[in-house]
């Protein structure tokens, strides 16, 4: 996966979607 600084943002999104 590209290291464009957005990996963390996707992690936060996935986390928020799992535990709203």
Partner 1 sequence: GGVGALSGSYVAPKAVWLPAMKAKGLEISGTFSRQAGSISMDLSLTNKALQVMSDFAIQFNRNSFGLAPAAPLQINAPLGPNQTVDISLPLNTIGSVMKMDPLNNLQVAVKNNIDVFYFSTVYPLHVLFVDDGKMERQMFLATWKDIPNENEAQFQIKDCPLGAEAVSSKLQGSHVFTIAKRNVEGQDMLYQSLKLTNGIWVLAELRIQPGNPSFTLSLKCRAPEVCPHVYQAYETILKN
Which residue ranges make up the site for partner 1 (CB under 8 A)?
Answer: 1-2, 4, 6-7, 9-11, 13-15, 17-18
Shortest separation between residue 20's beta carbon and partner 1, angstroms: 9
Query: What three-state secondary structure class fits 5?
Result: coil
Query: What three-state secondary structure class fits 4?
Result: coil
Shortest separation between residue 13's beta carbon and partner 1, angstroms: 7
Within 10 angstroms of residue 4's Cβ, the number of other Cβ atoms is 7
Shortest separation between residue 3's beta carbon and partner 1, angstroms: 11
């Amino acid at each position: 996966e590209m290291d464009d600084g957005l990996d963390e943002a996707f992690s936060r999104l996935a986390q928020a979607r799992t535990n709203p």
